[in-house]
Amino acid sequence: MKKLNLVGLGLLLLLMAGSFILLPELIRSQETIKVGGLFDLTGVTSEVGKPFAQGVRDAVDWVNAQGGINGKQIELIPVDYSYKIPQAVAAYKKFVSQDRVILINGWGTGDTEALKDSVNKDQIPYISASFSAHLTDPSKTPYNFFIGADYSTELRIFLKWIKDNWKDASRSPKVAFIYSDNPYGKAPIEAGRAYAKEIGVDLVDEEIVPPSFQDSTSQLLNMQKKEPDFAYINTTTSWVAIILRDARKLGLKTQFGMNPYGYSEKLPQIAKEAAEGAYGLMPNVAYGEEVPMMKTIRDYVEKNKTIENPDTLYVRGWAYVLVWSEALKRSKELTGPAIKAALETLKDFDTGGLTPPITFTPEDHRPTMRCKIYQVQNGKIVPVAEVEIPRKKEWLGF
């Protein structure tokens, strides 16, 4: 009996010793709020991924300096996955199993859609920078969110703007789609086809480009035969610049519009004169635009000098953190389901003018149906319109 007591006492002491060893780590994890950051810093979208990631980092630093989340500091755990889905999956597994994050700020369409089933199973709020409409239906992707009009809404807005401003009564406007051969490039195309038909815009051509390329002449020559009045480009900035330069060499009269990862302050810097007159859909304002939150951002940049040429992608990173940090503050507890529920309480949430007001509900994760259209004028991107379309139930997730 005494031997058993001694054995029991030994086990008790061993367990207590283990507890003391683990205690500092336990205390530290309770003091910080761990958030995963999945970024593309070296892959094919790194030109837009790097300023976005820096915006997220800087906004987290700013939130922490304001007192954090109800007194707790955010611990951002960044990973560069180089826009490769297998690396994104590996990073996600580490976030969940080792880092024990309670929320992830993600990036691309392909990886976000590849992870959505795991995200749902693990109940981890996943706020990605992909605006794929496929991620907006809570009945299918309840833990996926993003900040800005989805790609399908943006394309519908561009088509509506074309139709509403078309002056030739003798015929309908003719449009073409140019998009990259990946999930991101293809995301809004089916919705665009249907909406063009619905509102009486003639979709006369579709051209597919690789995720990376050096020449788009063959695609543009094919498109030229159909004589579209407008073409919508769904790829990122460097590849958009190639298309615009090639179009200028060929003397095309087509007017070009593009999605928010193909359009920023950098486009006229890269494409030069070929970018003049080009339109872009923007879910958030350009850097330096006169909105209330911009002074805070500019002051931060001037003081900390973390980025050399801040742009709209950098602003987008700030907008993301402002939204999900607000949800963390509102959350009744720091668990995935509670944070999801807190996000779904956001109604017309003001990001200080960086984006249109943001709304999520348990039935609809489309954050807004509004988007600004910008145009390159004298080498600068200038807002020329803001368009809102109805929140139709049949468009949810499409």
Note the pLDDT tens digit of each residue in 303-339. 999 999 999 999 999 999 999 999 999 999 999 999 9
- Tokens representing 144 are 């996926």
- Give dist(CA 220, CA 223) in Å, integer: 5
If pLDDT is split at 50, 70 and 90, which confidence band does 11 have?
A: very low
- Do the domains 151-282+376-395 and 27-149+288-367 match in fold? yes
DSSP class of 151: H
Distance CA 88, CA 91 (A): 5
Residue 14: pLDDT band by 50, 70, 90 thresholds? Answer: very low
Return d(Cα 333, Cα 67) in angstroms, integer. 18
Q: DSSP 3-state assignment of 60?
A: helix
Q: pLDDT at position 22, please? A: 41
HSE-up (13 A, CA, CB side) for residue 324: 34
**Residue 302 scores a pLDDT above 80:** yes
The pTM for the full model equals 0.91
Are the CB atoms for 286 and 381 separated by under 8 Å?
A: yes
Is the domain 151-282+376-395 a CATH 3.40.50.2300 member?
yes
Q: How far apart are CA 65 and CA 246, in angstroms?
A: 47
Q: Which of 265, 240, 271 is nearest to 381 (CA)?
A: 265
pLDDT of residue 29: 46
Measured from the Cβ of residue 364, the count of other Cβ atoms closer than 10 Å reads: 17
pLDDT of residue 6: 44
* pLDDT tens-digit readout, 23-79: 344 434 458 999 999 999 999 999 999 999 999 999 999 999 999 999 999 999 999
Q: Convert the pLDDT of each residue in 239-264 to its tens digit.
A: 999 999 999 999 999 999 999 999 99
- Adjacent-strand bridge partners of 255: 230
Whether the Cβ atoms of residue 123 and residue 337 lie closer than 8 Å to each other: yes
By the 8 A CB rule, do 169 and 141 touch? Answer: no
35 to each of 92, 125, 129, 161, how far by Cα in Å?
Answer: 11, 10, 15, 38
pLDDT of res. 31: 86
Q: Kindly state which CATH superfamily the domain 27-149+288-367 is placed in.
A: Response regulator (3.40.50.2300)
Instruction: Return the domain boundaries, the chain.
Output: 27-149+288-367, 151-282+376-395
pLDDT score of 30: 58
Task: Give residue-wise pLDDT tens across range 123-149.
Answer: 999 999 999 999 999 999 999 999 999
Section 335-354 average pLDDT: 98
**Cα–Cα distance measured from residue 322 to residue 187, given in angstroms and rounded to the nearest whole number:** 26
